Amino acid sequence: MHRRVSSVRRLVSSRSFVPAVALAASGLSVLVVAPRFASAQAAPSDEAVIEYRQNLMSAVGYNMGAIGTIMKNQLVLPGAVANHAQQMADAAKLIGPAFERKVTAGKTDAKPEIWQDRAKFEQAIADYQKAASNLAAAAKGGDPAATGAAVKALGESCGGCHESFRKPKEESYKNR
Amino acid sequence: MSRLRRGVHAAKRPGDGMGVVLGRHAGRLGIVFVSMCTALFGLGARAAAPSDAERHVAEQVARAKAEGIGLRTPVQRGERVFRATGGCTCHTNYPGEAEAAPALAGGRALETPFGTYYSTNITPDPETGIGGWSDADFIRAMREGLAPDGRHYFPVFPYPSFTGLSDADLVDLKAYLDSLVPVRRANRAPDAPFPFSWRTSIAGWKLLNFASARIESEPSQDAVWNRGRYLVEAAAHCGECHTPRSWTGGLDRSRWLAGSKEGPEGELAPNITPDERTGIGDWSIPDLVWYLETGLKPDGDDTQGLMREVIRHGYSSLPREDREAIARYLKSVPPIENRVKGGD
């Protein structure tokens, strides 16, 4: 035991150790980076982009649904509405990047206007984030009237963005 | 006209006649009305033997309290009727002119399988709107689908539903509309092929598809259910979009509220019967009440199209008990299996 430790110390203190470690590390990094590099060459599929966008929107929707379930049934869950609203505000940061790549074909209801009028789209996201933060603050404040109004405003911000940037149900891919 | 006027005065509620008179100058007289009621009620409390007038006011107060309405002016009561119709939102050209559209001044294109019809100006402008109308003119339009000059209205105007509205609600609704800002804007003729652009043909259509009738209270059901039925069938006119139509364009009442693929403006109107698979069978009453208040579905998604408008400008501003009554009634109608595609 004692002898092994001392041999390690000798190795570490020896001059040849540093280049050896550097060499090993660079070899490892080649091993680690090489496959990542290879996969970056083939871009993720449009289907994957759509799936991520839809999962992100579902996450937002589930939080909105949870807030609705709590409020309309008057469930006693202290802090829950504020928590869900905060999750919705946090998710706002993910929406822009999720819709960076233009994918409008396939099983998606994203309208081309997202990329044609990017400034309006980003503004809609900012409005949504503000509405979600307002609800989080109102729910923490504990005033039911203010919370109710903030929920309505948040729902309106969802609807406002969808009106401009999501195909209506009549044109949805779900009808195909 | 005189017959209709008598009809108004002969209505069951004692307040109705007063509503007719007050409808003209509702804003100012409403305040006088409330003050008079308060004064009379106050006197009634002091007087040893109440007079007929005092008893009348006391009855009114009791009824108003029982109905959860409170003492209100015709304009305020009329606003409740207005909200129950969905805010008469078809009379504002929202999609065409967005939020800049002058409220209730008409001009909205309503696409139907028979052609495109344009909603009318219902602001109190005396020349282009309904400012010159009497209460009887208004009641006849809403109930019989007839203009003051006797011409037929196209049934894109949902008088087959509004015909169920009570005298009191119609007079109050007119008082509310009269209190709004008049907008001068001429009505537009329909873009529809003959005979669908021909008003006289509507006489035949009415024989097939229309009957002028009030909604009678169903004694086997409670007051909430009856209120809900009145709101759904008459004021909120849900069936006009959510009930499929026959080839003549009349409502197919055998599939009442079972959804339509030919809703206004080419929209899909979902099945709102309590069918488990294709309707709202899996929506609870709180789900429905919440939806009518916020436009948010049980899964957290929002509402688009005309439904979003009628919630925003109408149902969301109703007293909560009215939304509850609508929900109660909708959950009680016969479930009909009818899938209307569109993810709803």
pLDDT in tens, A13-56: 445 444 444 444 444 444 444 445 555 568 899 999 999 999 99
> If you average pLDDT over residues B140-157, what whole number do you get?
96
pTM above 0.80, yes or no: no
Tokens of B249: 């364009």
What is the rounded radius of gyration, in angstroms, for the C-alpha atoms of chain B?
21
| Interchain CB distance below 8 Å, A172 and B266 | no
Least confident stretch, A164-173, B99-108, B114-123, B188-197: B188-197
pLDDT at B93: 95
A71 touches chain B (CB under 8 A): yes
Is the reported ipTM for this assembly greater than 0.85?
no
- CA B276/CA B280 separation, integer angstroms: 7
- Is residue A175 within 8 A of residue B344, CB to CB? The reply is no
**Cβ contacts of A73 on chain B, cutoff 8 Å:** 286
* Whole-number Å distance between alpha carbons of A18 and A26: 12
Most confident of A89-103, B189-203, B254-268, B328-342: A89-103
Query: Measured between beta carbons, which residues in chain A are less than 8 angstroms from residue B294?
Result: 68, 151-152, 155
Q: Give the model confidence (pLDDT) of B85-102 as tens digits.
A: 999 999 999 988 888 899
Give the pLDDT confidence score for residue B266 in this predicted structure: 80
Which of B11-20, B146-155, B234-243, B266-275 shows the lowest mean pLDDT across its residues? B11-20
Weakest mean pLDDT among B14-23, B59-68, B297-306:
B14-23
Q: Please, how many CA atoms are within 13 Å of residue A174, restricted to the half-sphere of its CB?
A: 14
The answer to whether B206 and B133 have CB atoms below 8 angstroms apart is no
Interface contact A159-B344, CB threshold 8 A: no
pLDDT attached to residue B113: 86
d(CA B233, CA B97): 30
Residue of B nearest to A149 (CA): B294
pLDDT of B38 strictly over 50: no
pLDDT value for A162: 97
Asked if residue B110 lies in contact with residue B156, where contact means CB atoms within 8 angstroms, the answer is yes
Backbone angles phi, psi at B112, to 5 degrees: -130, 165
Top residue of A56, A58, A69, A72 to mutate, by most chain B CBs within 10 Å, is A72
Q: Which residue of B has its CA nearest to A154?
A: B294
Treating both helix axes as pointing N-terminal to C-terminal, what angle do B2-9 and B15-24 enclose, rounded to 10 degrees? Answer: 120
